[in-house]
Amino acid sequence: MSIQTVGIIGAGTMGNGIAQACAVSGIQVVMVDISDAAVAKGLATVASSLDRLVKKEKISEADKDAALARIKGSSSYDDLKGAQLVIEAATENHELKVKILKQLDGMLAPNVIIASNTSSISITQLAAATQRADRFIGMHFFNPVPMMALVEIIRGLQTSDATHDAVHDMALALGKTPITVKNAPGFVVNRILVPMINEAFFVLGEGLAEAEAIDAGMKLGCNQPIGPLALADMIGLDVCLAVMEVYLKEFGDSKYRPSPLLKEMVAAGRLGRKTGQGVYKY
């Protein structure tokens, strides 16, 4: 199956990043969000990102203009009807995702593949909310999407080989390195990463070291490019908390209990870069 047009649900950080990666690679994109204002903000983010690449001489001005011309912003699901693949990149909330997926399933042609960019929710469970479970798959991009090479491709219990192969080939066409993983909470990367971030919050909350020292220790001692607390601010503390809560619920193992400090900071609205303050001030 040749994927020439991709629909994307969500014009936020992940959605507009996926849209940019597709458009730069020559794929037509329809990016949908709930309001024209949200769509316009997503398109502006893509334009700004491409401007930075032009300044760094990574792409030409003509490349930028061509990429932007390939992205159509819309607040109507009807504009998705020409896509061969639709990627759901909405907020990491199970009920919201199920609502969106049922709506997509009811209006897309039977042969269209639906993928979810979820970072922790069961692909098998999400697939069961549709009538095309064999054509449903996880396609987990990493932030910032235009820069990060990895895509986790997650097979649900029902995912067909043809669906997997089409999405795998599409990831390669984007210049990404796909890895295929089995369905389980957090899959592979976040299963390891987010508990590490959570543990860093335990260490910070217990007063073992200041935030800067914790991050410096992990950068210099483990050769990580960014410390876990700074990374949490980039990801969003609310996202980290939501993932840990999924792990605790699904595995039933207390080792996945969220750090009290992480929960308190989310309750205070200190979610990281997107709110101007998390562990650090921005």
Query: Is 92 within any annotated ligand binding site?
Result: yes
Query: Is 33 within any annotated ligand binding site?
Result: yes
Q: 257 vs 91, 182, 247, 248, 262, CA distance in Å? A: 21, 23, 8, 6, 11
Active-site annotation holds for 168: no
Active-site annotation holds for 119: yes
Query: Is 102 within any annotated ligand binding site?
Result: no
Query: Is 143 within any annotated ligand binding site?
Result: yes
Query: Is 13 within any annotated ligand binding site?
Result: yes
Catalytic-labelled residue, pool 122, 190, 198, 259:
190
Sign of the Cα torsion 138, 144, 146, 147 reads: negative
Of 142, 274, 268, 278, residue with least CA distance to 201:
278
Query: Is 49 within any annotated ligand binding site?
Result: yes
Query: Is 56 within any annotated ligand binding site?
Result: yes
Catalytic-labelled residue, pool 152, 183, 198, 259:
152
Query: How many other β-carbons are positioned within 10 Å of the β-carbon of residue 65?
Result: 12
Query: Is 139 within any annotated ligand binding site?
Result: no
Query: Is 12 within any annotated ligand binding site?
Result: yes
Active-site annotation holds for 190: yes
Residues 7 and 50: their CA atoms lie apart, in Å, by 20
Query: Is 14 within any annotated ligand binding site?
Result: yes
Query: How many other β-carbons are positioned within 10 Å of the β-carbon of residue 140?
Result: 25
Catalytic-labelled residue, pool 116, 117, 122, 140:
140
Catalytic-labelled residue, pool 119, 122, 183, 259:
119
Query: Is 16 within any annotated ligand binding site?
Result: no
Task: Count Cβ atoms within 10 A of the Cβ of residue 101 and give its class: 0-12 exposed, 13-18 middle, 19 or more buried.
Answer: buried
> What is the arrangement of strands in the sheet containing 28-32, beginning at the earlier edge strand?
71-74, 28-32, 5-9, 85-88, 113-116, 136-141, 150-155, 177-182
Query: Is 274 within any annotated ligand binding site?
Result: yes
Of 241, 53, 85, 237, residue with least CA distance to 151:
85
3-state secondary structure of 8: strand
Annotated binding site for NAD(+): 10-15, 33, 92, 97, 119, 143, 274
Annotated binding site for CoA: 49, 56, 119
Q: Please list the active-site residues.
A: 119, 140, 152, 190
